[in-house]
C-alpha cells in the first residue's frame, strides 16, 4: 500500500487541471500569519498525511488563497498527533497540508492534540476486529449535488469512509483506544480517514460477541 504522503502527491497531480481553473497561483505564498490563527510552526518533512481527497484539496486551496488575500477568515492550525521518532500524523487539515507540500512550504502551523499515541496494553488487547465495510460515494443525492454545485466531477467509486466493527469488553469498546483501532483498521483497508465515532452503544451480535460499529471518515 502506498504511503499517505505518496497518495497525497498522486491526488495533487490528478486534480491539477481543476486547481488551474481557480485562478489560484501554482504555489501559495508562504505567510503563515495570513492563513492561520495560533498554532506553532512544524516542519513539513516531519508530517504524514492520513487522508487525501481531490475535492478537499481543491477546496482547501481556494479557501487558503482567499484567506491570504483577506477575503475569508483565517483558519485554526491543522491538528497533528505524535507517532514516535519525532514524526506526526495529520488528524485534521490533510487538504491544507497537501497544499502546503505542493507549494513547497518549509513548515505549517499545527497544534498537537495528544501527547502520546497509543494506550495501555489492556485497552488494546481487549479489542478484536470483526469486519471493515468500505463506503463509496455511489449515486446518493447529497454527494452528487455537492460535487456538481462546486463544478467537480462525481466518481461513484470514490472511497468516502468505512464502518468498522470491533468486539471486546464494555470498557475497551467505549475507550479512545477503540476509536484509534477503528481508524487504524480503516486505513489498512485503504481509507485515509482522520476521524472515528461510535455509531451505537455496545450490543450482542448473533454470535454472542459484544460489539460496536464505528463510522470512520
Q: At 34, list the grid cell.
A: 495570513
User: What confidence category does residue 44 fall into, taking pLDDT thresholds of 50, 70 and 90?
Assistant: very high
State yes or no: pLDDT of 15 exceeds 50: no
Please compute the mean of the pLDDT values over residues 176-188 and round it to a whole number.
Answer: 84
Lowest-confidence region among 12-26, 42-56, 72-86: 12-26
User: What confidence category does residue 141 fall into, taking pLDDT thresholds of 50, 70 and 90?
Assistant: low
Task: Please give the pLDDT value at position 143.
Answer: 61
Whether the Cβ atoms of residue 45 and residue 100 lie closer than 8 Å to each other: no
Query: ∠ at Cα 200 (196, 201), nearest 5°?
Result: 110
Mean predicted lDDT score pLDDT of the chain: 78
Q: What is the largest CA-CA distance in the chain?
A: 58
Please compute the mean of the pLDDT values over residues 175-204 and round it to a whole number.
Answer: 84
pTM of the model: 0.50
Report the percentage of the chain scoring pLDDT > 70.
73
Q: At 73, list the grid cell.
A: 477568515
State yes or no: pLDDT of 86 exceeds 80: yes
State yes or no: pLDDT of 32 exceeds 90: yes
Domains and CATH numbers, the chain: 4-112 (3.90.1530), 121-216 (no CATH)
Query: ∠ at Cα 183 (191, 195), nearest 5°?
Result: 90
Contacts of 209 (CB under 8 A, 6+ apart): 130, 167
User: What confidence category does residue 191 fall into, taking pLDDT thresholds of 50, 70 and 90?
Assistant: confident
Amino acid at each position: 500500500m502506498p504511503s499517505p504522503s505518496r497518495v497525497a502527491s498522486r491526488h495533487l497531480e490528478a486534480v491539477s487541471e481543476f486547481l488551474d481553473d481557480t485562478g489560484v497561483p501554482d504555489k501559495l505564498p508562504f505567510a503563515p500569519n495570513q492563513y492561520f490563527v495560533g498554532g506553532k510552526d512544524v516542519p513539513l518533512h516531519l508530517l504524514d498525511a492520513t487522508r487525501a481527497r481531490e475535492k478537499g484539496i481543491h477546496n482547501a486551496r481556494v479557501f487558503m488563497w482567499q484567506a491570504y488575500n483577506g477575503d475569508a477568515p483565517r483558519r485554526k492550525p491543522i491538528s497533528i498527533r505524535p507517532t514516535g521518532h519525532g514524526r506526526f500524523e495529520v488528524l485534521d487539515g490533510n487538504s491544507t497540508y497537501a497544499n502546503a507540500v505542493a507549494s513547497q512550504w518549509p513548515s505549517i502551523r499545527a497544534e498537537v492534540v495528544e501527547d502520546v499515541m497509543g494506550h495501555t496494553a489492556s485497552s488494546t488487547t481487549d479489542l478484536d476486529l470483526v469486519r471493515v465495510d468500505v463506503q463509496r460515494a455511489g449515486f446518493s443525492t447529497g454527494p452528487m449535488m455537492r460535487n456538481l454545485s462546486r463544478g467537480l466531477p462525481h466518481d461513484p467509486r470514490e472511497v468516502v469512509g468505512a464502518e468498522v466493527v470491533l468486539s471486546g469488553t464494555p470498557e475497551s469498546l467505549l475507550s479512545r483506544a477503540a476509536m484509534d483501532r477503528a481508524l487504524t483498521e480503516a486505513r489498512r483497508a485503504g481509507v485515509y480517514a482522520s476521524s472515528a465515532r461510535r455509531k451505537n452503544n455496545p450490543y450482542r451480535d448473533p454470535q454472542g460477541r459484544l460489539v460496536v460499529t464505528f463510522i470512520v471518515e
